[in-house]
Amino acid sequence: MQSARAVLEATVPFRRLSADSLEALARRCEVGEVAAGQTIYDATGPVEHLYVVRSGTVRLTCAQDGDGPGRGLGPSDLFGCHALHQAQAAAEAARAESASSLLRVPGRVVLDVLACEQNGSAIAEALVEALRGPHQPPEDSRSGQVDATPSAGAVKRRGATAMFSHVAAHGAAYLRNRRTYARLAGYALFFGSWYLAVEVFALPRFAKLPGITQVVHEWLSRDPTYGLSLHTPIYYEHIWASLRRIGIAFALATGLGVPVGLLLGACRAFREYVFPVFELVRPIPILAWVPLAIIVFSGSETPVVFLTFLASFFATALNTLLGVKSVDRRYVLAAGCLGASRWQAFWHVVVPGSMPFIFTGLQISIGVAWFSLAAAEMVSGQFGLGYLINTSYTMVQYPTIVIGMLTLGFVGYATSALVRFLGERLTAWRARDLGLGKV
């Protein structure tokens, strides 16, 4: 079976793409198998993906065809992607006539690639012609206006429109999901319990805690009682200081932890020398490192970054090691039988197979980095959310303590979500292997 790049090269419009653009487009292609008679999409709405027939036959039918046979498509033919082919949006249905293999790529990706090409307008013209097919006249019969080939600017505008439609569709699906309301119920339960315990029932153990009303009022105030709110520059200086330290520490932990974890898993000699020391040092609490960090590193910034890096490094390296161990040894042996060297088998089999564990480790790592950072900033820092929380406690500014804690939670959640999003994108092949990436 041909590779995604070979299939794209066989299509007339994409032959004119540069090698880099063709490779980028091939990487974003998903391969899907459809059975004979299976509907690929119906005429209920615009199609956001571009499909390329890899093998088999597909039949397109349009509203204007009535009971006609429609148009048959074979290998290397294109269909779908109404972001480019808007003339018959929501009026076209596609069905597999025989068992078929298809390439699928998001239309917005195609539009982005074409917008970056010097001859993108000409390629877009050829692509529109290929999508239109022999049954679609160049003049729109409904409006009497010519369906002009999009210019590079039009391609970008349509790309933005397609992306907006994609986001809107996902937003609507998110609101229809019952889990969304379960999450909202969890937030309501948490904040409701806080409100009842402190402000309504005034329970003894919660008597000195600030109420949610007081915290929100202070957080949103333009003239805060304790000098910190959404409207004060110092608030964002603390956030930026913590984000900068997290960024540096997390980048260092990833850049060192992933290679160390790969070596621990793949090289027995390296593991025998390093792993005992690794396991000896890993359980030591971060706070126990504080005196040594202050002695070894000068200034107040470097010790905080080091302490944050340390906790993140161990989480990343350990999960990478587990990822290497999870790779089935038979795949490595099969690669060797096909002529791959040890380095090629490691790079093309072990590393991709470890990626799900690596990104799981990175999600744990970013969370560990945040609570390590807060502890380090409390001991050795001059700015940052941890420093803010500790200083507010010393100065008996309890609402500011809660503001710092909630800000730490929100920012930490956002960074974890970003790492999770990147991991899902880079390991999408795993979902397809598990049967979750159907056409």
User: What b/e readout covers 340-350, taking b as 16+ CB neighbours within 10 angstroms?
Assistant: beeeebbeebb
For residue 429, give every residue at least 6 positions away whose Cβ sits within 8 Å of its Cβ, in sequence order, or none.
Answer: 352
Cα distance between residue 117 and residue 278, in whole Å: 49
So what's the pLDDT on residue 124? 80
- How many C-beta atoms lie closer than 10 Å to residue 304's C-beta? 32
Is the predicted pLDDT of residue 158 greater than 90, yes or no?
A: no
The four Cα atoms 354, 361, 173, 47 give a dihedral, to 10 degrees, of -30
Residue 165 in tokens: 């439609």
293-314 mean pLDDT: 91
pLDDT, tens digit (0-9, with 9 covering 90-100), for 385-423? 999 999 999 999 999 999 999 999 999 999 999 999 898
User: Where do we find the tokens 């119906």?
Assistant: 42
Cα distance between residue 31 and residue 22, in whole Å: 16
* Side-chain-side CA neighbours of residue 341 (13 Å): 3
Cα–Cα separations (whole angstroms), residue 283 to 257, 265, 310, 314, 379: 16, 20, 11, 9, 20
So what's the pLDDT on residue 169? 52
Determine contact, residues 264/270, Cβ cutoff 8 Å.
yes
49-55 mean pLDDT: 88
Cα distance between residue 124 and residue 169, in whole Å: 25
130-151 mean pLDDT: 51
Task: Return the higher-pLDDT residue of 316 and 61.
Answer: 316
So what's the pLDDT on residue 435? 42
So what's the pLDDT on residue 1? 63
pLDDT above 70 as % of the chain? 83
* Single-letter amino acid, residue 317: A
Residue 141 in tokens: 């019969």
Confidence grade of residue 437 (pLDDT, cut at 50, 70, 90)? very low
Report CA torsion sign: 47, 49, 53, 55. Answer: negative
So what's the pLDDT on residue 161? 53
DSSP secondary structure string, 122-189? HHHHHHHHHHH-TTS-SB-TTT--B-PPP-HHHHHHHHHHHHHHHHHHHHHHHHH-HHHHHHHHHHHH
User: Where do we find the tokens 């329970």?
Assistant: 203
Is the predicted pLDDT of residue 156 greater than 70, yes or no?
A: no
Cα–Cα separations (whole angstroms), residue 399 to 209, 211, 388: 8, 8, 12
Of the candidate ranges 84-93, 148-157, 346-355, the one whose mean pLDDT is the lowest:
148-157
Q: What does pLDDT average to over the chain?
A: 83
* Side-chain-side CA neighbours of residue 11 (13 Å): 32
Q: pTM of the prediction?
A: 0.61
So what's the pLDDT on residue 410? 95
Query: Reduced to 3 states, what is the DSSP secondary structure of residue 72?
Result: strand
Residue 439 in tokens: 């056409």
Write down the H helix ranges in 86-119: 107-116
pLDDT, tens digit (0-9, with 9 covering 90-100), for 231-286? 999 999 999 999 999 999 999 999 999 999 999 999 999 999 999 999 999 999 99
Query: Reduced to 3 states, what is the DSSP secondary structure of residue 81?
Result: coil
Cα–Cα separations (whole angstroms), residue 326 to 71, 146, 161, 356: 47, 57, 42, 10
Is the predicted pLDDT of residue 73 greater than 80, yes or no?
A: yes
- How many C-beta atoms lie closer than 10 Å to residue 239's C-beta? 19
Task: Return the higher-pLDDT residue of 429 and 310.
Answer: 310
- How many C-beta atoms lie closer than 10 Å to residue 39's C-beta? 10
So what's the pLDDT on residue 228? 95
Integer-rounded Cα radius of gyration of the chain: 28
So what's the pLDDT on residue 258? 96
User: Where do we find the tokens 């380090």?
Assistant: 376
Task: Return the higher-pLDDT residue of 182 and 173.
Answer: 182
So what's the pLDDT on residue 364? 93
Query: Reduced to 3 states, what is the DSSP secondary structure of residue 218?
Result: helix
Is the predicted pLDDT of residue 84 greater than 70, yes or no?
A: no
